Structure 1
Amino acid sequence: MNKSTHKPGSGNDAGREQKTLTLDEEAIRRAGTADLGDGAVTPGYGPYREAIIKLLNDALATELVCVLRYKRHYFTADGLESPAIAAEFLEHAHEEAAHADKIAERIVQLGGSPNFNPSSLLERSHADYDECTDLKGMLRANLVAERIAVESYRQMVELIGDKDPTTRRMLEGVLAEEEEHADELSDWLKR
């Protein structure tokens, strides 16, 4: 059927109600003028903002621990394949630092304060720090951490859903990169 000649109420649309999408103009105007000091955070963010900030601060801690673990592995990797693997560790460290920056920026946008306190990083992080000295152990520790990050971000995306679409999209992007890291590490372990 040609869509340009399709008429509502005919064919497959029979019995289906026509609905329009309209915005609540009054709510939009109220949101625009209420609590101007909150910047982009309008009342529509509802009661979940603080919980989302907590999730993001835990994710920030995880990313920072991952940066530290990758950096340690980069500098201490030793062995025949170590230059190539160490380069991979350094690349991942830089990407994890970029994730941390995105997360911290979003926390601030939501009116929160990013928690960079080193004394509580490990207790807030989903992933562990690792001090192993052999390449296989390093690869395995980083793969485990990436898989933990993948599952953490997957759950956060699911929890946040439509409560904060901007944060959800950011987390989906980070999740995709964490999946890529896990695939790369898994490939190294199979060699």
Structure 2
Amino acid sequence: MINVQLTDVNTLRERARTNVDNGAVTEGYMGDREEILRLLNSSLATELVCVLRYKRHYFMASGLKASVAAGEFAEHAAQEAEHADRLAERIMQLGGEPDFNPDNLSKNSHAQYVAGSTLKEMVYEDLVAERIAIDSYREIVQYIGEKDPTTRRLFEDILAQEEEHADDMADILKDL
């Protein structure tokens, strides 16, 4: 068991008044802020690339089984956009700048943008992208550990939803 010493109230109050321009980043922050900002921005790029791919797949889905897949594509696009917003918000809290530059998205994204031409290819590529996100986010959670619990929890929440997305895509792929 880790023995944690609690800081007395007067010291907490005094520390809160120093470097107040740092916002949420206090002296007690133990993460490598620059590295965590880099990880957050690459994850932001991943989520935005996934939004674009899912949106394309939603509009391009055709065939007998397209309605089920298209519904999932639309739902996943919206959820990936929510992930992107949460990541951008955390970047701002840590004093960084979210990178929405389209020129950087594909370069910084963990997942690739593979369009797919048939419904089966689209679902397959979405499943591959979800599996990439799952592995990369799991590693980020492990890397962060206890150094930045807020960012770790954010990634844990997103990871859980990415796992649901992968299950959805795997189920649809079985039926195609």
Q: Displacement, 1:40?
A: 1.4
Give the Cα–Cα distance (whole angstroms) in 1 for the partners of residues 31 and 154 of structure 2.
20
- What is residue 16 of structure 1 aligned with on the other side? none
Query: Stretches of 4+ moved more than 3 A in 1?
Result: 19-22
Kindly indicate whether residue 24 of structure 2 is the aligned counterpart of residue 24 of structure 1: no
8 Å CA contact retained: 2:46, 2:111: yes
Q: 2:60 aligns with which of 70, 76, 79?
A: 76
Q: Displacement, 1:142?
A: 0.2
Task: Specify every segment of 5 or more residues in structure 1 that has no aligned partner in the other structure, as ranges.
Answer: 1-18
Kindly indicate whether residue 18 of structure 2 is the aligned counterpart of residue 34 of structure 1: yes
Kindly indicate whether residue 173 of structure 2 is the aligned counterpart of residue 189 of structure 1: yes
Change (3 A) 1:137 1:124: same
Q: Displacement, 1:31?
A: 2.7
Q: 1:128 aligns with which of 112, 117, 126?
A: 112
Determine what percentage of the aligned residue pairs are the same residue.
55
One-letter identity of the residue aligned with 2:141: V
Kindly indicate whether residue 138 of structure 2 is the aligned counterpart of residue 143 of structure 1: no
Higher RCO (CA-CA < 8 Å; seq separation 6+): 2
Higher gyration radius (CA): 1
Q: Displacement, 1:21?
A: 5.4
- What is residue 164 of structure 1 aligned with on the other side? 148
Q: Displacement, 1:30?
A: 4.1
How many equivalent residue pairs? 173
Kindly indicate whether residue 157 of structure 2 is the aligned counterpart of residue 173 of structure 1: yes
Q: Identify the range of structure 1 (177-186 vs 44-53) with the bigger mean alpha-carbon deviation.
A: 44-53
Give the Cα–Cα distance (whole angstroms) in 2 for the partners of residues 36 and 143 of structure 1.
44
TM-score norm. by structure 1 comes to: 0.86
Q: Displacement, 1:27?
A: 5.0
Give the Cα–Cα distance (whole angstroms) in 2 for the partners of residues 20 and 164 of structure 1.
18
Q: Identify the range of structure 1 (26-35 vs 145-154) with the bigger mean alpha-carbon deviation.
A: 26-35
Task: Specify every segment of 5 or more residues in structure 2 that has no aligned partner in the other structure, as ranges.
Answer: none
- What is residue 48 of structure 1 aligned with on the other side? 32
8 Å CA contact retained: 1:31, 1:44: no
Give the Cα–Cα distance (whole angstroms) in 2 for the partners of residues 135 and 145 of structure 1.
15
Give the Cα–Cα distance (whole angstroms) in 2 for the partners of residues 83 and 39 of structure 1.
46
How large is the Cα RMSD of the aligned pairs?
1.6
8 Å CA contact retained: 2:49, 2:106: yes
- What is residue 98 of structure 1 aligned with on the other side? 82
- What is residue 67 of structure 1 aligned with on the other side? 51
